[in-house]
Amino acid sequence: MMHFTDAQIEASVSCDEAFDAIREVYKERACGRIALQPRRRIAVGRNKFSTMAAMLDREQVAAIKFYATLSERFHFHVALVSLVDGRLIAMMDGDALTRLRTAATTTFAATLFANPRSQTLGLIGAGVQAAAHVRALIRAFLLERVTIYDPNDEIVARLLTSLGADGIEARTATAEEAARSDIVVAATRSSTPVLSGDWLLPGTFIASVGATRTDQRELDDACIARASRVIVDAREQTIEESGDFQLLAPELLARARIDDLSEALTSPGFNPTAGPVVYKAVGNALQDAALAALVYKKLRSRESEVE
């Protein structure tokens, strides 16, 4: 049984490889060759423990992701099991893998529904997911301007320095200025909306990836009301877990058409005159399994070459 660290994963898997793995696994899901177990949480006092799992028929593996949440801090872990002989074939640190798969899935959704000539990216939130999304999206679109809003000046400065070191120019903005972009990524843990539907331009692609609990919310009611489409990364999990749906006005939730990303593969397209497209993600084990299988194949072959 092999163990792979965050550093090994980050060094071995590119944004392009992560994108390809996510694209293929959603195609497999559309064909019914994926089994997905949504996140389950248990708690003792204020401490929580979460698990979620997926089986990939083509790769002949199953993956389970698990993590403890202690004082709002957590580190992810992924176990990979062979569906050929039932062996535990790898254990992986999951933080780098989570950053990669989340940004890769957003980028995949954006290539389906955002303006293919998108030039501007607005970030609301400047943490690790924001950084991962810039690096992934800039490979898929000819972005000319990146604007960032976060109330924490220290986090913004850190992100600007990191992006600058990679030759990516970015500047600070208000939340409304950031929202008036071709592609908008909200990556916060806010309990109240950080995006107003009144700010959004026709055809904008909005990815809300940060608020992943029922008491957290990034989108106000107008974002959903104005949306021409609402896409989620896994319907059975995302609607249940996200405050962006659970705290939505009941009449809006009742009439909203919410498509699973795998279902939306059959009807992609950008309409510059239609309302914005909203993509809401809370993350799922389908994505983790796809990246874990990729990591295992790449690093196992490298270790074999060394031997």
Tell me the per-residue pLDDT of 251-278, one tens digit each, with 9 for 90 and over.
999 998 899 999 999 999 999 999 999 9
Taking 80 as the threshold, does the pLDDT of residue 302 lie above it? no
Question: Which amino acid would we find at residue 229?
Answer: R
pLDDT score, position 65: 98
What tens digit of pLDDT does each residue of 170-198 get? Answer: 999 999 999 999 999 999 999 999 999 99
Percent helix, percent strand, percent coil in the chain, to nearest 5 = 40, 25, 35
Mean pLDDT of the chain: 95
Out of 3.40.50.720, 3.20.20.70, 2.60.40.10, 3.30.70.270, the CATH code matching 102-280 is: 3.40.50.720
Q: Give the pLDDT mean for 299-307.
A: 64
**What is the residue extent of each domain of the chain?**
2-98+285-306, 102-280
The pLDDT of residue 301 is above 80? no
For residue 1, how many C-alpha atoms fall within 13 Å in the half-sphere facing its CB?
A: 12
pLDDT score, position 303? 61
Q: Which CATH number fits domain 2-98+285-306: 3.30.1780.10, 3.40.50.720, 1.10.357.10, 3.90.1150.10?
A: 3.30.1780.10
Note whether 209 and 108 are within 8 A (CB): no
Q: In sequence order, which residues have a C-beta less than 8 Å from that of residue 204 and are 6 or more positions away?
A: 179, 181, 182, 183, 184, 276, 277
Same fold, 2-98+285-306 and 102-280: no
What's the average model confidence in pLDDT over 13-20? 97
Q: Distance (Å, rounded) from C-alpha 301 to C-alpha 15?
A: 20
Neighbours of 305 (CB within 10 A): 7
Query: With contact defined as beta carbons under 8 Å apart, do 41 and 58 qualify?
Result: no
The answer on pLDDT for 304 being more than 60 is no
Task: Please name the helix (run of DSSP H) or strand (run of DSSP E) that holds residue 29, with its range, or none.
Answer: helix 15-30
State whether residue 276 is helix, strand or coil: coil
Q: How many helices and strands (H and E) does the chain possess? A: 12, 15
**CA distances for 233 relative to 142, 280, 294, angstroms:** 24, 7, 20
pLDDT digits (tens, 9 = 90+) for 77-114: 999 999 999 999 999 999 999 999 999 999 999 999 99
* DSSP-derived 3-state class of residue 295: helix
Where residue 236 falls among pLDDT bands split at 50, 70, 90? confident
pLDDT the model gives residue 290: 98
With tokens 């009439």, the residue in question is 255
Percent of the chain with pLDDT over 90: 93
